[in-house]
Amino acid sequence: MGDVSGGELARWGLLEQVERERCIDELLRDCPLPEPERLLLLRQNLERQLGLKELEPRQAWLDRYGLVDSDLDLMAARSWQWLKWCRERWGADLQTIFLKRKSEFDRVTYSMLRLLDGELASELHLQIKEGEASFSKLASQFSGGPEKLSGGVLGPVPLSQLHPALAKLLQVSRPGQIWPPKQLEGWWVVVRLEILQAATLDSPLQERLLLDEGDLYLRERLRQPPQSQVHSLC
């Protein structure tokens, strides 16, 4: 394959991605490969993804791109190395990062009844509270939003995707708690919390937060002048 110019990469919409990968290469310059057992598994996964498990097609692929066998080890280990780099840089701050973004991952299921008539909203709220009618039945009959089709039930949905006032209300609610009508964007809404699924900082979420921090860092680096130096932490 011939050399590709920066102009061509820009026209194809690939220049930013290439610059990002170059920046990662610089950061990982001194990072060691994983231990042999892990590297073998990573290598096997890569070969399976690329259809290179057999020797002949693997060698043909390497020849086509001007690579040698050890390059496959580097390719296979790259994502592992990048996550390791991110963990070494932001791992100590992970709990703080999580708490700042927790509402993005907390998921809530709730019931909503929305009406334009405040008096009717108050009457329906009282009927539900006193057990004279079910939330589901009244929502299906009276609600003016898409929840009408689901008996008033919405979610599960991340708290961060809700109107801030609604999200705050649900955050301080107990399951089953129903609130009197409140005005929200021109509607009178009656809300009841069904389920709040609080996010926990498990391994998959840790990895996502670390990689998100890495992406933010790379975007910031790429906005700096070309002569700015990037230093490896490994």
DSSP calls for the chain: -----HHHHHHTT-HHHHHHHHHHHHHTTTPPPPPHHHHHHHHHHHHHHHT--SHHHHHHHHHHHT--HHHHHHHHHHHHHHHHHHHHHHGGGHHHHHHHHHHHH-EEEEEEEEES-HHHHHHHHHHHHTTSS-HHHHHHHH--SGGGGGTTEEEEEEGGGS-HHHHHHHHTPPTT-BPPPEEETTEEEEEEEEEEE-----HHHHHHHHHHHHHHHHHHHHHS-TT-------
Q: What does the pLDDT read at residue 229?
A: 46
- What mean pLDDT value characterizes the chain? 93
Residues 50 and 36: their CA atoms lie apart, in Å, by: 21
Q: What is the pLDDT of residues 31-53, one digit of tens each?
A: 999 999 999 999 999 999 999 99
Quickly tell me which residue has 């490896």 as its tokens: 232
pLDDT at residue 204 tops 90: yes
pTM of the model: 0.79
Q: What does the pLDDT read at residue 227?
A: 54
Greater pLDDT, 228 or 4: 4
Phi first, then psi, for residue 109 (nearest 5°) are: -115, 130
pLDDT at residue 198 tops 90: yes
Residue 232 pLDDT level (bands cut at 50, 70, 90)? very low
Q: What does the pLDDT read at residue 1?
A: 53
- Which residue ranges form the domains of the chain, and what is each CATH number? 7-91+204-223 (no CATH), 107-197 (3.10.50.40)
Q: What does the pLDDT read at residue 3?
A: 75
Quickly tell me which residue has 């996550």 as its tokens: 83
Greater pLDDT, 12 or 151: 151
Q: What is the pLDDT of residues 184-197, one digit of tens each?
A: 999 999 999 999 99
